[in-house]
Structure 1
Amino acid sequence: MAALSPAAAQPVPEQTESDAYTRYELLAPGSGKFRILYDVTATTPGARFYFNPIRKGSIATDERVIDSRTGKPLPFEVVSGDVARANGLPRAEADGEYIRVALARPVPVDGEGRIRIDKTYEDAKSYLAVGDSITFTRSLGIRRNAIVLPPGYEPVSVNYPSQLLQEADGRIKLSFWNVGPAAVPLVVEARRVGKTALPAAKLPAEVAKRLQERASQSREIVYYLRDPDTHAFDLTHDYTETRPGVGVYTNIVRTGSRVSDPSARDLDTGEALRTEVLKGVAIEQAGGEAPGADANTEAVLFHFNAPAAGESRRLRIAETYTDTERYRREGDTLIWDRSFGRPVNAMVLPAGWTLTNSSVPATISQQPDGRVRLDFINPRTDEIAVLITATRKPL
């Protein structure tokens, strides 16, 4: 009997990723060195590796990679562009170098593989020092970024709107969301004001609470609108828990809304999570967080394996809400009138409806099934009141 020919090798799916955040810590002026902490999520189902390019013109040292779920180191190696191109990066440059990270577990279907890459770059063209002044010039294509100045330096010029926040050790941090489609040609100029870091301010709790970095927040919400006559919409909410010992996420139901069909899963493992809907004192008795709750307060509790110190959990929560006031139809017009408090929010119109107004700027795209999607990024720390109208498509 003739031997069977081996099956043709299956093409490797193209690498996909999300939720990238980069922190640049400028090291000693004159060294041209800066530390990079790069948080990124691999999203290709089944992927066992993630490839990160080493930018040309930069010398990379002190690399290490950790699994964000467990905080444990991951094995990695530097490979050529040819290797990267054959393993999910079709546009990898042949003469480029890439860090290939072995993920702790295959990426679950519709799940994630979260990692942190820690490395130091030396690049004198990007990080200059002249006298008591320094300049950091770099094209940043990642949406969420932070630049931390060396101890004892203050910013004198920043060309992209940024939060200015002081670290616990006194260093000044500049943080921003890139809300456009192109890379930010960032230029930061700073000067020395002392030989040591500026003293960290001791702020009242209510003041410190308002000075939270927006770009590092990773909550994402997507609303899928049902027919407006139902006043109902489905939503998914991605949330990361980093507090050691906390194994319950509490979602307080907004006044005027009704919740149904809650579910959740761990995005790192694909594991389904236990949920329950409770009211009043039962919320905190079950381990939830509901300060000031009364007998009418309703909450959905999602239970998961609490992280230990240095670990984190990434959850995807799904619910259906009914809200007669904020989502309705008047005549032939769909009306959505609801505030968003998270930095990343998206809304998908029902099938058969055409967008006619959006009070807040959004990027617009079309789902594979033809529905219209609006994505809102709010880089500020306050809420945005989003008013949307739509009309039925003519037959």
Structure 2
Amino acid sequence: MMSHRPRIPSLLILSISLLAPFSLAAPGPQTDADAFTRYELLAPETHSFRIYYDVSAATEGATRYYNPIRRGSDPDVHGVHDRMTGKPLEWALVEGGDAKASGLLPNAEPDSQYIRVDLARPVPANGRGRVLIDKTYMDAASYFAQDEVITFSRVLGIKRNSVVLPSGYELLSVSYPSQVITQADGRIAVSFVNPGASGVPYEVTARPLKLTTAKTSSVAQDFTSPPAATLARPMVRVDLEIDPRAPQSRDIVYFLQQPETHAFRLYHDYEEARAGTDRYLNIVRAGSKASNPSAEILDTGEQLEVETLLGTEISDRDIDIGEPITDRTEVVAIWFDPVPAGGSRLLRISETYTDPNRYLSFGDEFVWDRSFGRSRNTVVLPEGWYLTANAVPATVNTRDDGRIELIYSNDRPGNIDVFIKGRRR
């Protein structure tokens, strides 16, 4: 016996089918997570950059995701892929009305534009709908050239970003503390993580390299540092006294000499405010050799008496350095009139260090691998060299003399292990 099902009017079926996508795609306002953007700068005359936007739709039950197109950008979408399977997804360029009608973006403005992505599957509870959007923007206000210098300048609201220079370009500056990495194809990339709530006004400048032959990076095999030791604490530090970093006034600037010398000239500024203090003692780091020390009081310009003392010379002068003295102990002692009560001395101390263990040539690059304890540190590359790698995020500038400098601000307790590489132009 055949069973009979009730017939549903075709008009009602059509109505349900038209409404279904919107009801499935509108479980609530759109949310996302885990966003990362990679900008690859194309030829400067095109004012264009390719964007790889890796993002996760996070609204439970959502079957669509809307990616806003920034005003002033002329988009060319190459495709969208599902990150789980790698398969292409359906997408369309739509106006703000479409996004608003979906219920996902109830405040979308009518004249706004979006890339509408049909997800491979509804977003599960506490899950993600991961997509990769591949597009190119042409935006002359964000990417332009003046003479030979190119500039990428854009407020980046995504928390994790990377900008890749065109092939054959060297980095001149980057405005926000960033890592610098030379890719296997020789292109230089800068990247950063923004921990704050506001977007970062990010500006990168670069210029063509004057090289006779193209060079690519020998990525991970050319130099390896030992892994950092893990600190094991038997209990919570209930009596930890936090040393405030912001008020600290000890700036230090390193001027790297040519790598084959293993030498770097440095100066550091130090304010001494302890009443009665008449000396500054600089204990030379093991493995380093100090030479040509000098010092002055920046308040008056007065040049100070400076001595380099070794081993028993230190103990014979009854100088307490706060640690055991050996035959290899080296101290640079700087003498000045005792600090009066309520006063201070602002010192500038200069010297040259030679340290073949932490600054050397390796292949066609130099390697600098040194720990910094101060809150503010600057490293100036040797003349004629450009930056190829920087592990700890730093602001990068080009000085008036053409040398590249990296500025590190460490607002956390403890040291930072700075690792820099460069190559001769």
Q: Provide TM-score, normalisation by structure 2.
A: 0.47
- CA 1:204–1:45 in structure 2 vs 1: closer, same or farther (change >3 Å)? closer
Aligned counterpart, 1:58: 73
Counterpart secondary structure, 1:39: strand
Aligned counterpart, 2:364: none
2: distance between equivalents of 1:144 and 1:150? 20
| 1:31 equivalenced with 2:29 (yes/no) | no
Partner AA of 1:98 in structure 2: Y
Shift of 1:206: 7.4
Counterpart secondary structure, 1:83: helix
Aligned counterpart, 2:185: 169
Contact 1:25 1:147 in 2 (8 A): yes
Ranges in structure 2 where 5+ consecutive residues have no aligned partner: 1-14, 240-391, 394-411, 415-425
2: distance between equivalents of 1:31 and 1:210? 44
Partner AA of 2:36 in structure 1: Y
- CA 1:112–1:166 in structure 2 vs 1: closer, same or farther (change >3 Å)? same
**Greater C-alpha radius of gyration:** 2
**Pairs within 5 Å for 1:1-395:** 12-87=27-102, 88-194=104-210, 198-203=214-219, 205=221, 207=223, 325=234
Counterpart secondary structure, 1:85: helix
Shift of 1:201: 2.7
Contact 1:143 1:177 in 2 (8 A): yes
Shift of 1:63: 2.7
Shift of 1:12: 3.9
Shift of 1:75: 0.5
Q: Deviations over 1:311-341 (max 9, x none)?
A: xxxxxxxxxxxxx94579x8xx9xxxxxxxx
- RMSD, aligned CA: 3.6
2: distance between equivalents of 1:176 and 1:145? 6
Aligned length: 224
Partner AA of 2:76 in structure 1: T
- CA 1:196–1:139 in structure 2 vs 1: closer, same or farther (change >3 Å)? farther
- CA 1:209–1:173 in structure 2 vs 1: closer, same or farther (change >3 Å)? farther
Contact 2:185 2:217 in 1 (8 A): no
Shift of 1:164: 0.5
Ranges in structure 1 where 5+ consecutive residues have no aligned partner: 1-5, 212-253, 257-323, 334-378, 387-395
Q: Provide TM-score, normalisation by structure 1.
A: 0.51
Counterpart secondary structure, 2:100: helix
Percentage of pairs with the same residue:
48
Contact 1:141 1:182 in 2 (8 A): yes
Shift of 1:145: 0.3
Counterpart secondary structure, 2:185: coil
Partner AA of 1:80 in structure 2: E
1: distance between equivalents of 2:129 and 2:59? 9
- CA 1:209–1:199 in structure 2 vs 1: closer, same or farther (change >3 Å)? farther
